[in-house]
Amino acid sequence: MRILILTISYAPNVGGVETHLLDWTRWLNGRNDLEVDVLTYQPITTRAKGPSVEQEDRVRIFRIPWFGRQLFHKFESKPILQFLYLAPRLLFSTFFHILRHKKYDVIHAQGLIAIWVAGQLKRFWKIPVLGSLHTVYVFKPDSSTGRRIRRVLGYTDHLLSCACSGTDQLRAYGLSENRIGTFTYWVDQDVFAPLPSEQARQALNLAPNATVVLFVGRLIEVKGVRIFLELAQKHPEFFFMIAGDGPLETDCAAAFKHLPNFRYLGCMSNHSLTTLYNAGDLLLVPSLFTEGIPRVICEALSCGLPVIASDRGGSKEALTAGIGLLTEPTTDSFSKALKQWIQQGGTSPLIRHHCRAFAEEHFSSRNAETIETCLLSLITKPH
């Protein structure tokens, strides 16, 4: 059985979706009856570059060269330009890729643009399409944008959203119940695991008694990076550390030079992130937009690190009482929540134990079975 995973972004690009897809291809690699190809762009949001063709056992990755490292972020608020920037080239490349490498049994398309491309190919080759959505669309169903989204989503044979709120929105768009579902990210519980805090802090040269507040993610406006920087200015009593890369890395580097309680770490590997999470007292996720369950929440909780996140989308599903707080994505709201959490003893070992137990229950590799079941059902289903 042959599977094509179609995505605009994959490793070595760094982000929650990219890391999820690495986990997903590793899971599929464990099956002897599958051949898996990934077709993607060379990284278009970072300086990283991967091999044009790469193979790991039964998984092959094909990377399409493309231009404009910062255009993706510039076009995020201009969906028509972003579509024109990404979709035609991906459609052209995928069409000729299939001609060269024979027909696939199913296409697993990641996000709206990949789903649109898969839908055009489905007309030609009748290949079933499983769509995965990694964000929550909040456009009203009767709006012009909502109708366009509904039309694109209609190309799929089955559609999975990474948050229950996203699945609710799919219902609002009129998709039938038997065609939609929800999946949840997972993380390697052996990699993202608790370590002695003293050991982690020594590795990062941190004071043992400092209250360490973290941000991990893409350094872009909608992730709330500026809120984090403003909090570092507002709270000299805490030590703030930020890991990631993106258009706002210059702002982070400038803050590193001028704020004694701030450190910019750049992009970090999973192994280094585990050390960072274990050195911290709290992770902040001040996203300004409605997203699915942020992968950094799964990683942090797995390491026993509590989280304060924006009261938006999937974050509300990932946090319960005792392992974090939800608040509005403003500097004042996060400031109040931060002080409240610390004053209420949110850095205690018992809290960290609850975080780890919650993660083991909700974010283990068992979550891959949901996607696998949908994928295999499309392969075996008569068309």
Q: Is 192 domain-assigned?
A: no
Do 91 and 176 lie in a common domain? yes
pLDDT one-digit tens code per residue, 109-168 = 999 999 999 999 999 999 999 999 998 888 888 999 899 999 999 999 999 999 998 999
pLDDT one-digit tens code per residue, 337-372 = 999 999 998 889 999 999 999 999 999 999 999 999
Do 178 and 244 lie in a common domain? no
Angle made by CA atoms 189, 45, 294, in degrees to the nearest 5 = 35
Is the pLDDT reported for residue 77 higher than 80? no
In which band, very low, low, confident or very high, does the pLDDT at 320 lie, cut at 50, 70 and 90?
confident
Do 168 and 264 lie in a common domain? no
pLDDT one-digit tens code per residue, 186-206 = 999 999 999 999 999 999 999
What is the C-alpha separation between 74 and 145, in angstroms, rounded?
19
Task: Give the DSSP per-residue string, 228-247.
Answer: HHHHHHH-TTSEEEEE--ST
Strand 212-216 and strand 180-182: the pairing is unpaired
CA atoms within 13 A on the CB side of 149: 24
Do 286 and 219 lie in a common domain? yes
pLDDT one-digit tens code per residue, 82-112 = 999 999 999 999 999 999 998 899 999 999 9
pLDDT one-digit tens code per residue, 267-287 = 898 889 999 999 999 999 999
What is the number of domains present in the chain? 2
Q: Residue 294 corresponds to which tokens in the numbers above?
A: 């942020």
Query: With 0-12 CB in 10 A as exposed, 13-18 as middle and 19+ as buried, what is 23?
Result: middle
Do 291 and 220 lie in a common domain? yes
Do 79 and 174 lie in a common domain? yes
What is the C-alpha separation between 28 and 23, in angstroms, rounded?
9
Higher per-residue confidence, 292 vs 42: 42
Do 175 and 317 lie in a common domain? no
Is 48 in contact with 126 (CB distance < 8 Å)? no
Q: Is 258 domain-assigned?
A: yes
pLDDT one-digit tens code per residue, 322-340 = 899 999 999 999 999 999 9
Higher per-residue confidence, 290 vs 7: 7
Q: Residue 383 corresponds to which tokens in the numbers above?
A: 């068309």
Do 54 and 157 lie in a common domain? yes
In which band, very low, low, confident or very high, does the pLDDT at 45 lie, cut at 50, 70 and 90?
confident
Q: Residue 322 corresponds to which tokens in the numbers above?
A: 């005792």
Is the pLDDT reported for residue 169 higher than 70? yes
Query: With 0-12 CB in 10 A as exposed, 13-18 as middle and 19+ as buried, what is 32?
Result: exposed
Contacts of 86 (CB under 8 A, 6+ apart): 8, 41, 72, 113
Q: What is the pLDDT of residue 265?
A: 96
Do 178 and 294 lie in a common domain? no
Q: Is 91 domain-assigned?
A: yes
Contacts of 167 (CB under 8 A, 6+ apart): 161, 180, 181, 182
Q: Is 82 domain-assigned?
A: yes
Is the pLDDT reported for residue 255 higher than 70? yes
Is the pLDDT reported for residue 42 higher than 90? yes
Q: Is 92 domain-assigned?
A: yes
Q: CA-CA distances (angstroms) from residue 229 to 203, 235, 256, 333, 377?
A: 24, 10, 10, 14, 47
CA–chain centroid gap for 274, Å, is 17
Q: What is the pLDDT of residue 68?
A: 79
Do 269 and 376 lie in a common domain? no
Is the pLDDT reported for residue 383 higher than 70? no
CA 26, 185, 77, 90: dihedral to nearest 10 degrees? 30
Sheet holding 53-56, edge to edge: 53-56, 59-64, 35-41, 2-6, 106-110, 129-133, 158-161, 180-182
Q: Which residues form the domain of 48?
A: 2-186+365-380
Strand 106-110 and strand 59-64: the pairing is unpaired
What is the C-alpha separation between 158 and 181, in angstroms, rounded?
8
Do 168 and 218 lie in a common domain? no
What is the C-alpha separation between 335 and 187, in angstroms, rounded?
29
Q: CA-CA distances (angstroms) from residue 239 to 125, 235, 264, 334?
A: 56, 8, 11, 15
Q: What is the pLDDT of residue 368?
A: 96
- Asked which of 66-75, 105-114, 138-147, 235-244 is least confident by mean pLDDT, the reply is 66-75
Share the mean pLDDT of the chain.
Answer: 93
In which band, very low, low, confident or very high, does the pLDDT at 381 lie, cut at 50, 70 and 90?
confident
Percent of the chain predicted with pLDDT > 70? 99
Angle made by CA atoms 112, 114, 116, in degrees to the nearest 5 = 70
Model confidence pTM above 0.85:
yes
Q: Is 191 domain-assigned?
A: no
Q: Name the residue type at position 295.
A: R
In which band, very low, low, confident or very high, does the pLDDT at 71 lie, cut at 50, 70 and 90?
confident
What is the C-alpha separation between 278 and 43, in angstroms, rounded?
29
What is the C-alpha separation between 348 and 90, in angstroms, rounded?
49
Do 18 and 157 lie in a common domain? yes
The mean pLDDT value for 249-273 works out to 94
Question: Which CATH number covers residue 86?
Answer: 3.40.50.2000
Is the pLDDT reported for residue 382 higher than 70? no
What is the C-alpha separation between 39 and 48, in angstroms, rounded?
17
